[in-house]
């Protein structure tokens, strides 16, 4: 009995494109899927890039015309890793074609655009997934399960951060990251901690933020070293009020010297607390109870934390970043098959983006702002 | 040649009183002071308590009348560990008597009161010191030296916190800590992280804060279990704008389940960063430079970090909390002798209190507030 | 211009078989290889298991006859993940057929057998690689580079350990792991720390070991709960004398409650030290230099540590266990193409096994033993 | 009602002498002792040193004649911090005078001498205490309580170490530490990990050790830079067989670059494990139980870990090295009053020394040796 086959079309063969391709190639060997996957078409900016990418990443065909790829009848799922500004037209075309859409974050350059995409997808009843890959970590899921189960009592506080150092150098040139359409530290990596906060605690209703541009000019490009002003934030701190009644704070910072991936949180409850940093992504810190033997327990990822066991039957064999994307793709396939829904569909990605924009407005106007 | 003698009068023999007495008894054996200390009089609420305290803590005489102790001609330095509400009358009396005043934090119950005390002390040219003991840690001093020296470049960010768990239990009764005059998590322990922030980076000019009362009622006392509403904060988050041009955030939280003393900060600069938590008070985390061998270095306290060597000639022999108070008393004696001034005199304590009150106003009015 | 193709034949589809298959499927997309890989044949114990494995793991054909797979002209590399006792006949057949052999550790059940296999491979000039995957970690390679470069001065000491907890339960039944032919904690996981010690410091010349069986009986199998005595070690400690002149110690322990993967070492030199544990496999601890800012630096894996950049262009995106196997396969392919030789060929695996047997003899006879 | 007074005589005012004096001055204010202490006489090598020491450390009188101090009728307890070679005559004189003897470790330069002292003390029924101060740590006591209570099941393994870096520099000159009478890393700091092992698990019955001299010559003194050969070990590793039936290993290393005080152990049991390092002396790592929320718990020292509460009523206020000595002195006073016996009396110190000498013989003869 042969399994049915699902065809994949991928747009982009850069960092995230390779990451997607790796996941599509690896997922069948690791997860028990009821279908086979077939990497059909790779689309990229030119025929040459697309063709080289297809050979390297294991796709049958290549094209420089993403619209034709979307139309390809063998393509069931369209994966978008193109620049942010192209997400909307690509996703709208895929939705129009009735394809499942797997889009990298941020969903679009504005919340308005994201809402338009969301409504189109919902109207067409198309399955969507946005790549908030850090939520796929079994230890983050464990944190949410702990919170939801009441293990730490009623939640009383939240402190979150996403700090990296990749924009520390003032000579790192302008790019899509510093574009006023969807750029800046808050939009780029702050979206990870906002999505994490929502994943753990639910919606944010109001915010007071403050932003700072640390390096006020950057070279126009690697080729043109003339400096142009930076109009986006390098760092934002924000107070958050959650619908569940608590308050907390986050920081987004891409000029955080010394930090490589401090996507971290501490959730405090009346009976315990749970803490995590992506810098040690295979560990979760948990405290519950009191008494002379209590303290924060360092829980190490293991087969008792689904879906870790898909990767290895024994504890101590760490998951890595690329594995998170494999987990995400397994969720995508199951959502495509309507086995379950996706945590981070377009609707959720829109809510994240709306929260980000509220923080940006709050920082611009120096006042509390409703989301 | 005999050294001159300085007489000590201490008010209070509770936790902080014992801590002061320990420091006065220990400092001469550890530091090379040009004077001898003499523990003259211990004052406390009753003759009985004072007398027992004097015997236990090594004071020659005892009294229930703190005013007479202040007047005692053998007393040169008055140490105040009484309830906050008594700090003002006690300090004013000591200032009037021309004595050096060593007062526990907070300096008083309001910034207005603190300012009155400050101006009186300055008018009388009396030496003052407020017990922000965590600033005495050699690793905190090292952090400031690193920042000041430019080792981490220009400062770009600050993230601070003081989180403890001692008010987690909703059945912990009301006390001076929950009094609306000077009580609440922000005033009680937030003052430590505010003083730390000022110590490291200088004045705060504006703030936007948000507060929360987690346990909205508490028993009136250990004896009277009838519950009364709590009118102070259990937790406050605040955005800070510093005079030096940067922004940052702090949290004060005394209901932080699992945290025993997370008085912590991360100061980020253009070329490095420095991080600390009092939970590991003998360590400082530092990163400078880039390249394949760079990362956060865990600096362990040792004799190369003054005044550690006063306690031990070799690294690895940790300092403890009580040692911080000994360092503080050594500073007090040198200030009394006009060898140098105190970091945290009444003026500085007033500035801390003013900042705290600005955060409180900001939280009450839900808007940015100038300090 | 099409790249030439290399055909893969895999024996076994259990944990390590899946791990091999994942690596063969992923390596082309992550590394820039001058060849394409083709997963040709999967051999396993029955046609049914082999066929299911082939579909799941992406192999074209399947068989229950591993000898026919080895003879298959499209198979260039034979990967062996079968039970240890079968390694010798399988490898000898592959060598006879002139195929490159990739064998899981331990190479065989005795050093004599391993030597026979080694000499056959060398006589036939066949490329061989044994799966000591933990040596593929960029942080372990960095440790060796640091040692070799003299960064920590002359090496003066070594302390190593491989501790896991998977045999803690006395009701875990007998298996090949507890067979007196090649079983026991020292042979099973001690081989990892012995290979690591040799990788970092070179050959061991003499040893004094002591072993202990903690659980002296175990059920015969999951089906037959009758208990039979355990004749192998659960834990071995050993002193080691290295050819380079230093002494050190190791522990192998598979009943180490609480340890999931403490494959760890500290190498001390006259000018510094380097420390590592697989429990935090993306970190290396390094100290060099003295002075008030020195201390152990936590180096996080990043693109400056080859071949990390093949997996991700940015630091902070951790590698996981399965990624180590991908690195190993990339080395295998380059060795097959005679681009470079393998660190852990059959000869090296034989040397590890000889060292293990010397420790076993030493423990049995309670005296120092030459390797 | 006045408490009776106990008089203290102290020999030595160097590092350990100051440490003792600090403890004698501090203990009454921190512990609730039924007696008052009186620091009577300080003896040192010259009248000048003794006199300066007495003033600084708070002793009434001083002398260069330690024999007269021991005879002083006001002296009840004799504290010895003189060079090791003088411990025997000083202690024998104090025993002859019927005084309680508090002696720094090692008890003497040979086990034979230590035994002679032990038997003399026992014959005279004199209270003795040897300064193994690291055993006074509440977290170490907690570790023993956990082991004794069966919390981690039956003990199955031990791994210990005392590593420091203070002899790393080959130009650090000879001193009593490198004297063949009682010198060397094993005797100097190895005695701490041996005493810790005995404290936690009981007697060692047999051992196989190996030693190494890393720096084979050193300057004769700070004044005479002519180099003389080093005849003691810089580093020793040893396998240990315990009377309780388990085996384990220890390392003693005073040339461990990067380590300031890695006096550490991991004790493994059938149901859990406990781990500690003096580098984080206010923490104990404990694991018990299994399941998805299990892991090593970082227990922080607090008032629930006696006698921490004597120093502070709240957790998070760390103890430091000097506090350990205060705890030791409190035990000394209670032993002097026959309230309880001392863990580490002369008999116990002799047993430690006998174990050390067995390891030395084993290393010299390269064979297993009974203790």
Residues in Cβ contact with A188 at an 8 Å cutoff, skipping those fewer than 6 apart: A106, A177, A252, A254
Verify that B357 and B230 share a domain, yes or no: yes
Residue C342 binned pLDDT confidence (cut-offs 50, 70, 90): confident
Verify that B168 and B115 share a domain, yes or no: no
Residue at A337 is within a domain: no
Q: Which residues of B touch C151 (CB under 8 A)?
A: 293
Residue at C17 is within a domain: yes
- Is C28 in Cβ contact with A21 (below 8 Å)? no
Verify that D120 and D139 share a domain, yes or no: no
Verdict on whether the full-model pTM lies above 0.95: yes
Nearest CB neighbour to A237, from listed B168, B235, B249? B249
Per-residue pLDDT of chain A (371 residues; tens, 9 = 90+): 579 999 999 999 999 999 999 999 999 999 999 999 999 999 999 999 999 999 999 999 999 999 999 999 999 999 999 999 999 999 999 999 999 999 999 999 999 999 999 999 999 999 999 999 999 999 999 999 999 999 999 999 999 999 999 999 999 999 999 998 889 999 999 999 999 999 999 999 999 999 999 999 999 999 999 999 999 999 999 999 999 999 999 999 999 999 999 999 999 999 999 999 999 999 999 999 889 999 999 999 999 999 999 999 999 999 999 999 999 999 999 999 999 888 899 999 999 999 999 999 999 999 999 99
Verify that A99 and A212 share a domain, yes or no: no
- Least Cα separation, residue C144 to chain B (angstroms): 13
Strands A247-253 and A155-163: parallel
Nearest CB neighbour to C322, from listed A58, A311, A313? A311
Q: In angstroms, rounded to a whole number, what is the distance separating the alpha carbons of residues B200 and B246?
A: 13
Distances (CA, A) of D77 to B121, B280, D71, D229: 47, 36, 11, 40
CATH number of the domain where residue D28 is located: 3.40.50.720
Q: Which residues of A touch C322 (CB under 8 A)?
A: 311-312, 317, 320, 323
> What does the pLDDT read at residue B2?
77
Looking at every residue in chain C, the average pLDDT score rounds to 97
Inter-chain contacts counted by CB atoms under 8 A, chains B and D: 113
Three-state secondary structure string covering chain D: CCCCEEEEEEECCCHHHHHHHHHHHHHHHHCCCCCEEEEEEEECCCHHHHHHHHHHHCCCEEECCHHHHHHCCCCCEEEECCCHHHHHHHHHHHHHCCCEEEECCCCCCCHHHHHHHHHHHHHHCCCEEECCHHHHCHHHHHHHHHHHHCCCCCEEEEEEEEECCCCCCCCCCCCHHHCCCCCCHHHHHHHHHHHHHHHHHCCEEEEEEEEECCCCEEECCCCCCCEEECCCCCEEEEEEEECCCCEEEEEEECCCCCCCCEEEEEEEECCEEEEEEHHHCCEEEEEECCCCCCCEEEEECCCCCCCHHHCCCCCCCCCCHHHHHHHHHHHHHHHHCCCCCCCCCHHHHHHHHHHHHHHHHHHHHCECEEC
- D neighbours by CB contacts (3+ pairs under 8 Å): A, B, C
Nearest CB neighbour to B28, from listed D58, D260, D321? D58
Verify that D127 and D141 share a domain, yes or no: no
Q: Which residues of B touch C302 (CB under 8 A)?
A: 292
- Least Cα separation, residue D365 to chain C (angstroms): 10
Angle at A328 between CA A323 and CA A334, to 5 degrees: 130
Verify that B32 and B160 share a domain, yes or no: no
Residue C286 binned pLDDT confidence (cut-offs 50, 70, 90): very high
Verify that A56 and A164 share a domain, yes or no: no
> What does the pLDDT read at residue C186?
97
- Is B300 in Cβ contact with C292 (below 8 Å)? no
Q: Length of chain A, please?
A: 371
Residue at A10 is within a domain: yes
- Least Cα separation, residue A278 to chain D (angstroms): 18
Tell me the per-residue pLDDT of D125-156, one tens digit each, with 9 for 90 and over.
999 999 999 999 999 999 999 999 999 999 99
- Chain D residue with the nearest C-alpha to that of A297: D297
- Is C15 in Cβ contact with A29 (below 8 Å)? no
> What does the pLDDT read at residue A182?
84
- Chain B residue with the nearest C-alpha to that of D261: B316
Strands A100-103 and A272-277: unpaired
> What does the pLDDT read at residue D1?
56
Q: SS3 for C296?
A: strand
Residue at B324 is within a domain: no
Query: Chain B window 215-254: which residues touch A at a Cβ cutoff of 8 Å?
Result: 234-235, 237-239, 241, 246-249, 251, 253
- Chain A residue with the nearest C-alpha to that of C31: A56
- Kindly list the strands in the beta sheet with A36-43, ordered across the sheet, starting from the edge strand earlier in the chain: A61-63, A36-43, A5-11, A77-80, A100-103, A128-130
Q: Which residues of D touch C239 (CB under 8 A)?
A: 208-210, 237-239, 249
Residue at B320 is within a domain: no
Residue at C248 is within a domain: yes
Last residue of a domain, which of A133, A166, A184? Answer: A133
Verify that B85 and B148 share a domain, yes or no: no
Last residue of a domain, which of B93, B113, B133? Answer: B133
Question: CA-based diameter of chain B, in Å?
Answer: 66
Q: In angstroms, rounded to a whole number, what is the distance separating the alpha carbons of residues D227 and D216?
A: 10
Nearest CB neighbour to D317, from listed B165, B259, B261? B261
> What does the pLDDT read at residue A152?
98
B340 class by beta-carbon count within 10 Å (0-12 exposed, 13-18 middle, 19+ buried): exposed
> What does the pLDDT read at residue C344?
96
Residue at D306 is within a domain: yes
> What does the pLDDT read at residue D182?
84
- Is D15 in Cβ contact with B261 (below 8 Å)? no
> What does the pLDDT read at residue C289?
86
Q: Mutating which of D146, D150, D157 best tests the C interface, going by the most C Cβ atoms within 10 A?
A: D157
- Is D298 in Cβ contact with A300 (below 8 Å)? no
Mark the ranges of chain D whose per-residue pLDDT is less than 50.
none
Verify that C168 and C92 share a domain, yes or no: no
Nearest CB neighbour to C304, from listed B292, B297, B302? B292
Percent of chain C with pLDDT over 70: 100
Tell me the per-residue pLDDT of B14-23, one tens digit each, with 9 for 90 and over.
999 999 999 9
Domain count, chain C: 2
Verify that C296 and C254 share a domain, yes or no: yes
Verify that D112 and D141 share a domain, yes or no: no
CATH number of the domain where residue C212 is located: 3.30.360.10
Verify that C175 and C125 share a domain, yes or no: no
- Is D253 in Cβ contact with C273 (below 8 Å)? no
Query: Residue B70: what are its φ and ψ, rounded to 5°?
Result: -60, -35
Nearest CB neighbour to B157, from listed A239, A249, A253? A253
Q: How far is CA C349 from the centre of its chain?
A: 9
- A neighbours by CB contacts (3+ pairs under 8 Å): B, C, D
Residue C1 binned pLDDT confidence (cut-offs 50, 70, 90): low
Q: Mutating which of C288, C295, C306 best tests the B interface, going by the most B Cβ atoms within 10 A?
A: C295
- C neighbours by CB contacts (3+ pairs under 8 Å): A, B, D
- Is D299 in Cβ contact with A295 (below 8 Å)? yes
Q: SS3 for C114?
A: helix
| B318 DSSP 8-state letter | -
Tell me the per-residue pLDDT of C35-92, one tens digit each, with 9 for 90 and over.
999 999 999 999 999 999 999 999 999 999 999 999 999 999 999 999 999 999 999 9
Place of tokens 């059959």: C346
- Supply the range of the domain harboring residue D349: 135-314+345-370
Q: Consecutive 10-residue runs of chain B (371 residues): their mean pLDDT?
A: 90 96 97 96 97 96 98 98 95 98 96 98 98 98 98 98 96 94 93 98 98 98 96 98 98 97 98 98 96 96 97 93 98 96 95 98 98 95
Residue at A47 is within a domain: yes
- Chain C residue with the nearest C-alpha to that of A56: C29
Last residue of a domain, which of A133, A156, A190? Answer: A133
């Amino acid at each position: 009995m042969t399994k049915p086959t699902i065809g994949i079309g991928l747009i982009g063969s850069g960092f995230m494109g390779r990451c997607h391709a790796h996941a599509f190639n690896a997922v069948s060997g690791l997860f028990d899927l009821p279908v086979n996957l077939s990497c059909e078409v790779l689309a990229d900016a030119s025929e040459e890039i697309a063709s080289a990418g297809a050979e390297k990443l294991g796709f049958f065909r290549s094209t420089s015309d993403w619209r034709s790829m979307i139309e390809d009848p063998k393509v069931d799922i369209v994966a978008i890793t193109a620049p942010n500004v192209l997400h909307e037209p690509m996703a709208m075309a895929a939705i129009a074609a009735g394809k499942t859409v797997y889009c990298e974050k941020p969903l679009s350059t504005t919340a308005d655009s994201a809402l338009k995409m969301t409504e189109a997808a919902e109207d067409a009843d198309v399955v969507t997934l946005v790549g908030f890959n850090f939520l796929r970590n079994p230890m983050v899921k464990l944190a949410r399960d702990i919170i939801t189960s009441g293990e730490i009592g009623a939640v009383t506080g939240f402190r979150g951060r996403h700090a990296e150092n990749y924009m520390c150098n003032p000579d790192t040139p302008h790019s899509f990251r510093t574009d006023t359409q969807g750029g800046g530290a808050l939009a780029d990596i702050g979206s990870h901690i906002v999505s994490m906060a929502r994943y753990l605690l639910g919606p944010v209703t109001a915010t007071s933020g403050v932003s700072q541009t640390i390096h006020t000019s950057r070279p126009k490009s690697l080729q043109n070293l003339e400096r142009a002003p930076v109009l986006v934030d390098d760092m934002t701190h924000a107070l958050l009020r959650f619908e569940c009644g608590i308050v907390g704070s986050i920081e987004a910072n891409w000029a955080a010297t010394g930090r490589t991936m401090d996507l971290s949180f501490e959730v405090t409850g009346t009976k315990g607390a749970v803490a995590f940093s992506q810098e040690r992504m295979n560990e979760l810190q948990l405290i519950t109870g009191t008494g002379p033997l209590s303290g924060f327990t360092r829980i190490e990822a293991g087969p008792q934390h689904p879906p870790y066991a898909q990767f290895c039957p024994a504890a101590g064999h760490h998951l890595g970043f690329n594995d998170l994307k494999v987990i995400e793709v397994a969720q995508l396939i199951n959502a495509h098959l309507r086995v379950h829904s996706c945590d981070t569909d377009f609707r959720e990605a829109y809510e994240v983006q709306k929260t980000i924009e509220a923080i940006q407005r709050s920082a611009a106007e120096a006042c509390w702002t409703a989301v």
